Structure 1
Amino acid sequence: MSLRAAVLGHPISHSKSPALHLAAYAQLGIGISYTAIDVTEGLLPSLMGQIRDQQGWRGLSVTMPLKTAMLSQVDEVRGVARTLGVVNTVSFEDHNGTRKSIGSNTDVAGIVNAVRHAGSAAAPSAVVLGGGGTAASAVAALKELGTAHAQVFVRDTSRTADVRAAAESLGVDLEIRSLTDAARPTASADVVISTLPPRAADGLAAEVAALKTPTPGVLLDVAYDPWPSLIATVWQSGGGAVVPGLEMLLYQAVEQVRLFTRRGDDVNAAVIDVMCDAVGLPRRAL
């Protein structure tokens, strides 16, 4: 029986996940195919129905705009995914001849590892740009990094249900403001996590540059194409550390590979090295 995995989202042609996963499976010597499937929220139930009827599926990576919609499509939601209401990973388990789909969230681990490896403060002052599902994962990651309060800047303050619910469930105090007010708080923060789409932070980047002040903290820009983003360029020129979104993608994919292969301890530094090589990501010293 051939083993399969895939990344689901819309649009999806830009995804680096196939390169990351296939490099890992080749290094591990496991024959799992991994493809990108373009699917909208409306078509997700039909696709998941097909997948349930097909043997050999080991896992699904879930990206925008499906991370909330996937909640109702799995048999069980575990861990921080249940707390946040955000699923970016589906794995399959067999119990007495019955296959069960499990929803989980590896975005949080991806953010935590990426920020820690960049040398963030133990309990950082934090800014999150954006208010959707990935921002909810960012709040959970910041909680793990020791943050009890975060400022969240969004383009539309009426569309912040995901991040508000996450903060309430985690006990993190949020201050939600318009993106037009973000320049000074962003420039002075210890950690900034931008979950905005590509180029959506360009205006803010110009405002930060106009301040002509140092940017001493760590910036993680989840958008990785095109790279470097304007805000990453401005941040680095101000003296701060920049973490590309590709690095977060790497670390969340590492956790997915562990789930999909069911060989967690084998997904080691050698596997991470080939995953980095597959997407041209320099390897940080851990």
Structure 2
Amino acid sequence: MTATTADAPGTPGAEASVLEVWGDPIAHSLSPRLHAAAYRELGWAWQYGRRRVAADEFAAEIAGLGLAYRGLSITFPLKAEAFAAATRLDETSVLTGAANTLVLRGGERLGFNTDVDGLVADLTEQGVAGLAEARIVGAGATATSALVALARLGADRVEVLARRPEAAAPLVGLGERLGVGISVATLLGSDGGPVPLTLSTLPGGAELPADAAARLAGDGGLLYDVVYGHWPTVLADAWQRAGAPAVDGRGMLLQQAVRQIRAFATGEVTEPLPREQDVVAVMRSALMED
């Protein structure tokens, strides 16, 4: 069932005010810095921390949360677990089969996927427009969000590169529903030709043969790597060596966090925050801190 404004968890001053980001690993996460900056600017007495949670621990951890918890940000590798734990889901979560946000309201868990619109917003800021084709590296949960984002940006042809081509089968099915033609190849076997955008969804620290990375950099256009804690990645290093543009995922992190905070405040990701431009500005400054 789709979450609506009627499902809002209450006003920002409500008792439930504890929030966390969950993932494994999680120590590198910049989400606490982003959220803390936003809450200070808004004058909300919310607390935001981080918790390392493995996939097989997720159910027990969420069952043990007390009433003080307002919501959770969910990162790798827990987005499928969050999707399964939600009692209601927004349309983007249903489409992708992944949730990166859970709003906790009594016995309910409202699930959202803010990665998609966060990625669309930052790619637009990067000057990506009128996109017809692109390349995705990786075939996990984030690749699903990347595909939906590319479709919303106008792409109708996407090449997916995966270590195991069979892992890309769900992306092929999703592409059919979105009206996007999907071709699949291994990381060493791309033959899709030049593209204006390569979107890497590989986890930080993922290994990739240097020759494969160099070949992709040669015709991959702008590299948008969702990683931000392990920079430069193997792909980013190859792009830089080739003199090609490469950006990390901090902008996506910022934009999806803005939408998470909207959901935590009202239960709706499309309702802007009070003085949202000011909030975004302090969050952006927080990302630049050493």
In structure 1, stretches of 5+ residues that fail to align are 282-286
> Any idea what the Cα deviations from partners look like across 1:126-148, whole Å, max 9, x if unmatched?
00000010000000000000011
Determine the structure 2 residue equivalent to 1:259.
263
Query: What secondary structure does 2:64 align onto?
Result: helix
Determine the structure 2 residue equivalent to 1:67.
79
Deviation at 1:68, TM superposition (A): 0.9
Contact 1:118 1:241 (C-alpha < 8 Å) held by counterparts: no
Determine the structure 1 residue equivalent to 2:160.
152
Query: What secondary structure does 2:160 align onto?
Result: strand
> Any idea what the Cα deviations from partners look like across 1:195-251, whole Å, max 9, x if unmatched?
0122436535x4454689575x32210111222334224324545432311111111
Written as runs of structure 1 = structure 2, the 5 A alignment for 1:50-199 is 50-51=64-65, 54-93=66-105, 98-182=106-190, 185=192, 188-199=194-205
Which portions of structure 1, spanning 4 or more consecutive aligned residues, are displaced by more than 3 angstroms? 206-215, 236-241
2:41 is equivalent to residue 27 of structure 1: yes
State the identity as a percent: 33
Backbone CA RMSD of aligned residues: 2.4
Change (3 A) 1:130 1:171: same
Deviation at 1:261, TM superposition (A): 2.5
Aligned with 2:246 (options 238, 242, 248): 242
Following the alignment from structure 2 to structure 1, what is the Cα–Cα distance between the partners of residues 144 and 40?
A: 33
Query: What secondary structure does 1:15 align onto?
Result: coil
Deviation at 1:8, TM superposition (A): 1.1
Change (3 A) 1:65 1:202: same
Change (3 A) 1:212 1:56: closer
Change (3 A) 1:162 1:91: farther
Query: What secondary structure does 1:128 align onto?
Result: strand
Query: What secondary structure does 2:147 align onto?
Result: helix
Aligned length: 272
Contact 1:41 1:65 (C-alpha < 8 Å) held by counterparts: yes
Contact 1:81 1:103 (C-alpha < 8 Å) held by counterparts: yes
Aligned with 1:14 (options 28, 31, 52): 28
2:236 is equivalent to residue 228 of structure 1: no
Query: What secondary structure does 1:42 align onto?
Result: helix
Change (3 A) 1:92 1:70: same
Deviation at 1:268, TM superposition (A): 1.6
Contact 1:114 1:243 (C-alpha < 8 Å) held by counterparts: no
Following the alignment from structure 1 to structure 2, what is the Cα–Cα distance between the partners of residues 48 and 165?
A: 31
Following the alignment from structure 2 to structure 1, what is the Cα–Cα distance between the partners of residues 216 and 164?
A: 24
Determine the structure 2 residue equivalent to 1:36.
50
TM-score normalised to the size of structure 2?
0.85
TM-score normalised to the size of structure 1?
0.86
Following the alignment from structure 1 to structure 2, what is the Cα–Cα distance between the partners of residues 246 and 7?
A: 16
Query: What secondary structure does 1:179 align onto?
Result: coil
> Any idea what the Cα deviations from partners look like across 1:50-88, whole Å, max 9, x if unmatched?
22xx22322111111111122221111111111111111
